[in-house]
Amino acid sequence: MRNVRALYFDGKSSEGHEVVIAGAVGADGRSALRVRGTGINLEWPLAGVRASDRVGSSRRYLYFPDGSQCETEDNDAVDGLFAEQGATAARLLHRWESGLGYAFAAVVITVAVGWAVIVWGIPALAKQVAFALPGATESLIGRDTLAALDRIVLTPSRLSPDRAEALRRLLAAMTAGIEGAAGYRLELRTGGRVGANAFALPAGIIIVTDELVALSKDDRELEAVLAHEIGHLRQRHVLRHILQDSATALLVAFTVGDLTSLTSLAAAAPTLVLQAKFSRDFEREADDFALDYLARRGIPPDLFAVILRRMEQRTATGKDGVDFLSTHPAIRERIERARGAR
Partner 1 sequence: MNRAAETSQPAVSGAVALKFAGQTGEYFRIWIVNICLTVVTLGIYSAWAKVRRKRYFYGCTLLEGSAFEYTGNPVTILKGRLIVFAAFIAFSLLSEIHPAIQLVLFITFLGFLPWAILRALQFNARNSIHRNVRFGFNSTKREVGVLLLIPIFLVPLTLGLAYPYYLHRKRRFFLEHSTYGRTAFGFTASARDYYYAALKLSLAFVGFLIGSIATLGIGLIPLYVLLRAYAEATFADVAWRNTTLGDIRFACSWKAGELFVLYFVNALAVLVSVGLLVPWAAIRTARYKLERIVLQSEHGLGGFLAATQENVGAVGDEAGELLGFDFGL
Q: Which parts of this chain interact with partner 1 (CB under 8 A)?
A: 7, 9-17, 38-39, 52-53, 55-61, 67-69, 71, 93, 96-100, 102-103, 106-107, 109-110, 113-114, 117, 134, 136-137, 252, 254-260, 262-263, 266-267, 269-270
Q: Nearest approach, Cβ of 330 to partner 1 (angstroms)? A: 25
Nearer to partner 1, 13 or 160 (CB): 13
Beta strands in 15-55 (DSSP E): 17-25, 31-37, 40-45, 50-51
Q: Contact at 8 Å (CB) between 215 and 101?
A: no
The b/e string for 269-288 (b: 16+ C-beta within 10 A; e otherwise) is: eebeebbbebbbebbebbbe
Is 54 strand, coil or helix? coil
Nearer to partner 1, 37 or 329 (CB): 37
Q: Contact at 8 Å (CB) between 139 and 203?
A: yes
Nearer to partner 1, 124 or 214 (CB): 124
DSSP codes, 87-132:
--HHHHHHHHHH-HHHHHHHHHHHHHHHHHIIIIIHHHHHHHHHHH
60-63 and 69-72 beta bridge pairing: antiparallel
Classify residue 184 as exposed, middle or buried by CB count within 10 Å of its CB (0-12, 13-18, 19+): buried
Nearer to partner 1, 7 or 20 (CB): 7
Is 280 strand, coil or helix? helix
Nearer to partner 1, 67 or 192 (CB): 67
Nearer to partner 1, 131 or 177 (CB): 131
Q: Nearest approach, Cβ of 99 to partner 1 (angstroms)? A: 8
Q: Nearest approach, Cβ of 184 to partner 1 (angstroms)? A: 22
Quickly count: other Cβ atoms within 10 Å of residue 240's Cβ. Answer: 23
Q: Nearest approach, Cβ of 333 to partner 1 (angstroms)? A: 28
Q: Nearest approach, Cβ of 277 to partner 1 (angstroms)? A: 16
CA-based nearest residue to 268, from 247, 241, 282: 247
> What letter would DSSP give residue 324?
T
Q: Nearest approach, Cβ of 43 to partner 1 (angstroms)? A: 19
Nearer to partner 1, 252 or 299 (CB): 252
Q: Nearest approach, Cβ of 73 to partner 1 (angstroms)? A: 8
